[in-house]
Amino acid sequence: MAAVDIVGVRKAFGATEVIHGVDIAIADGQFVVLVGPSGCGKSTLLRMLAGLESITDGTISIDGKVVNLVPPKERDIAMVFQNYALYPHMSVFDNMGFSLKLRGAPKAEIDRRVKEAAAILDLDRLLERFPRQLSGGQRQRVAMGRAIVRDPKVFLFDEPLSNLDAKLRVAMRTEIRALHQRLRSTTVYVTHDQIEAMTMADKIVVMHDGRVEQIGEPLELYDRPDNLFVAGFIGSPAMNFLPGRIEAGAGPRFVSDGGVSLPLVAPPGGVGSGIDGRPVVLGVRPEHLHLADEGAAAEVLVVEPTGSEIQVFTKLGGADVMAVFRERHRFRPGDRIRVAPLPGQIHLFDAESGRRLVP
């Protein structure tokens, strides 16, 4: 186990820079999830950590030692690939024991460690099988077993669940999380699925276009997103955004471009002076909208009950706004309802920079 430090790391393929200076500190034993849309550079960063891509600038250190020029096999890391990368011509046992065999470990030790890992992952009965004879979930477990056997300093996961069906994905999510709680090993996990990130991570790193947008604990990102990108990316269904401006006065209000006017409940002291007329984007999560007589009028477009809640798509002052209710309202398309954000549950972002404005 070890801490991992990524400092000012850049990556360029030819003249195209894809990672523009990334700093991430990962503590010993932490489960960190790199999340972002495809092409944001998260996988490239993971591959640089693994030693499969060179580092253009900056440093990566594992356990206090800079590993920029250290080949993968000397970094003491284990990686689980998206398509598992099991060796098709080797049995499960040989797949799991391959790294130990290469290191020249005695046969008895290979046997013991493979069986230990197989017991943890419930693979005991599959050791003689070949990868083609396994189901997707079993392959996934073998890939993890291969990593566990090595007892590495750092575990790396590259979208390991994206090839599984939805139900299995949820089950494996829990399994990986439970495994981490048991082994307490430093883990870096790459995914594009923000639900995976939210449910598994100790710490989430949101990446976008080769930059880190925000680093924090899952709920911190959910409650206080630093910018519009994080606000829109974290949370499902996604946050609603209403562009508009602030009107200062006795009670400062937010007035959207579509004419919706909402009181800013929180004291606007932090917003700073000169806020009057400032263009902003107001963000409010669907679950933070409630029915209120004093709220803004919205027209119901589509109603989607999921069982535990009802998702209602509405038109609010010209903008598409979604609301989620846990109560079983019987709305019909065309109904007019009045909704308002819960007190203290709105987010204000600067319209130009996208940065969060306090509160």
Nearer to other proteins, 77 or 126 (CB): 77
18 scored as a contact of other proteins (CB under 8 A): no
Stretch of residues binding other proteins (CB under 8 A), selected from 81-89, 235-243, 280-288, 336-344: 81-89
The correct pick among 22, 86, 148, 310 for binding other proteins (CB under 8 A) is 86
Binding window for other proteins (CB under 8 A); candidates: 22-30, 37-45, 65-73, 295-303: 65-73
Which residues, in sequence order, are bridge partners of residue 246? 254
A 10 A CB-CB count for 336 gives: 10
**Which of 21, 29, 37, 72: binder of other proteins (CB under 8 A)?**
72
62: contact with other proteins by CB under 8 A: no
Q: Which amino acid is at 10?
A: R
Binding residue (CB under 8 A) for other proteins from 83, 135, 174, 353: 83
Footprint on residues 106-135 left by other proteins (CB under 8 A): 131-132
Q: Tell me whether residue 5 or residue 159 sits nearer to other proteins (CB atom).
A: 159
141 binds other proteins (CB under 8 A): no
Distance set, CA 126 to CA 119, 139, 146, 148, 165 (Å)? 11, 10, 14, 16, 21
The single residue among 52, 70, 266, 301 that binds other proteins, judged by CB under 8 A, is 52
CA angle, 230 then 233 then 238, to 5°: 120
- DSSP assignment, residue 238? P
Q: Which is nearer to other proteins, 94 or 309 (CB)?
A: 94
Question: Is the dihedral angle over the CA atoms 220, 221, 222, 224 positive or is it negative?
Answer: positive
Of 41, 51, 235, 268, which one interacts with other proteins (CB under 8 A)?
51
Edge-to-edge strand list for the sheet holding 319-325: 319-325, 310-316, 289-305, 336-341
Maximum Cα interatomic distance, the chain, rounded to a whole number of Å: 79
Is residue 139 close enough to count as binding other proteins by CB under 8 A? yes
Q: If phi over 0 gives left and psi between -120 and 50 gives alpha, with beta otherwise, what is residue 163?
A: alpha
Sites of contact with other proteins (CB under 8 A): 50-52, 71-73, 75, 77-79, 81-89, 98-99, 102-103, 131-132, 139, 146, 150
